[in-house]
Amino acid sequence: MKKITVYEKPTCTTCRKVSKYLEENGFDFEKINYYIEPFSKSLLKKLLKKMNMKPNDLLRKTESLYKELNVSDMSENEILETMLRYNDLIQRPIIEYGDKAVLARPPEILEKFFMSN
């Protein structure tokens, strides 16, 4: 069976809902708090590729930091670097499963994700 990795912030309500869903459905998974174990650039790029997303797609645009840093005016590489520097700008949770990954917002997306994998 493929390994499931959940990249999360444990205090996030959506992250807790995802963990509950996985536990209730008998999935074996590993949780990584990316505030304690930050993303490397290569891992974040790999996850973006698996999700078929660009850095801009993974931004938390409602964060005040997004506006303060003028992230909307940055290139993709600058956005990526900024996300690595400021974890709060990264949408969560990210679920990695084999050669696929998904941004589990809303958590209900997981049922479809696991059925198609």
Is 12 in the active site? yes
Please answer whether residues 114 and 22 qualify as being in contact, where contact means their C-beta atoms are separated by less than 8 angstroms: no
Bridge partners, residue 95, by sequence: 6, 102
Q: How far apart are CA 98 and CA 117, in angstroms?
A: 9
Angle of the 41-51 helix axis to the 76-85 helix axis, nearest 10: 120
User: Which of 2, 10, 12, 112 is labelled catalytic?
Assistant: 12
Q: ω before 107 within 30° of 0 (cis)? A: no
Catalytic residues: 12
